Amino acid sequence: MLQATENLIAYASLGAVAPEYHIFARPPAALKLESGETLGPVTLAYETYGSLNQDKSNAILICHALSGDAHAAGIHDGEGNPGWWDDMIGPGKAFDTKRYFIICANVIGGCKGSTGPSSVDPQTGKPYALAFPFITIADMVNAQRDLIDHLGIGKLLCVAGGSMGGMQTLQWASSYPERVRAAIPIATALKHSPQQIAFNEVVRQAIMADPDWRGGNYYAYGQPEKGLAVARMIGHITFMSDQSMEEKFSRRLKSGKFSFKFDADFEVEGYLRYRGDSFVKRFDANSYLYITKAMDYFDLSGARLIQTGKVCPTRFLVISFASDWLYPSSQSQEIVRSLKRHQVDATYCELKSTYGHDAFLVEIAEQTNLIRHFLDRTQNGNGKKS
């Protein structure tokens, strides 16, 4: 067991890491939300990697996707799996912890240490459940800004993230352009299309149709496991491309023959069931509802990304993947067109990949080359408009 742990630490490069917690908006103060409601006190779980330099100019904020959390790299004591972007964060990696101070925070509305529906409502002593206020991507970013203030960082060298993390990245550049030198939105969009909203509505309905959801008040009884598992199965289908599914599963049978029952005959069926069943052990169903709704509400199209008459000093590297049909390259190209219309320094790269939307998590080599070069030029102050 010790040898296995040592091997994992060597693989993770950063070794053992631990979460930290920032508590703010304590009564009578409160975090004002876009809905008009307020939330407080608010806890943000976060992790940091590397060291902040003397003038605090090397800080990079990493924003996670829908089912992610603050554990982006390294390993937690007693746990086996490294953080969700461990291949990209660490010494010598794309986000080089020998040069940069990396921060990743679990979003509000989440369920991995930050305040969300499963957190205790101080007014009732019970989990918020559906009494938790609706939150938006902008609310998530405003909470992160309080953390950045707490860390004493006036301007971030970069904000980066994929999928919903890319939405947060765009929101940072829109809300606080003077505090972000560079932004790397990956496999994301200025707003959800009707198809993307439709997929999210189907997964929400799958959760809410489970009798164990109990109108959101299931915490004393247990998760609506069947509904949440189905929701995650749907999600996984959208994350992969047709080619990647063919290469990974094709029509291979688990036992070599049909069962003539409603069992998981095909390998792809078994994979989806496994992913759904494992997901319910680590994620809160109500958080899934709230976060998907926040993604659907997100809209920085038109003049919302950069308000008319305002200058955006942030430079951008926008990355998409050719096989990503959930967040297709056309949506990243829309981001770039919007930036170019406002004379913003923006570079766009579409990477060839067969992995679909999951590519931002697994296509490491090309992303590393792009990001390493982009960050180096940003930090050295020699970025040119392209």
Q: For residue 92, how many C-alpha atoms fall within 13 Å in the half-sphere facing its CB? A: 3
For residue 112, the tally of other CB atoms under 10 A from its CB is: 20
Reduce the DSSP state of residue 316 to 3 states and report it: strand
Specify the length of the chain in residues. 386
How far is it, in rounded angstroms, from Cα 165 to Cα 85? Answer: 12
- Non-local (6+) Cβ contacts of 63 within 8 A are 104, 107, 144, 159, 160, 161, 164, 165, 166, 168, 169, 172
For 380, what's the count of Cα atoms within 13 Å in the CB-facing half-sphere? 9
Distance CA 335, CA 349 (A): 12
State both tokens at 382.
Answer: 């020699």
**Element containing residue 92 per DSSP (H, E):** none
163 in catalytic set: yes
C-beta of residue 61 within 8 angstroms of C-beta of residue 50: no
Identified catalytic residue from 86, 324, 345, 358: 324
Catalytic residue among 114, 119, 163, 329: 163
Q: HSE-up of 113 (CA within 13 Å, CB side)? A: 17
Cβ–Cβ under 8 Å, residues 150 and 80: no
DSSP 249-262: TTT-BSSSS--SSS
Query: Is 324 in the active site?
Result: yes
Measured between alpha carbons, how far is 143 from 107 in angstroms, rounded to an integer?
8
Asked if 293 and 107 count as a contact pair (C-beta separation under 8 A), the reply is: no
Q: Which of 22, 64, 71, 357 is catalytic?
A: 357
| Active site (catalytic) residues | 163, 324, 357
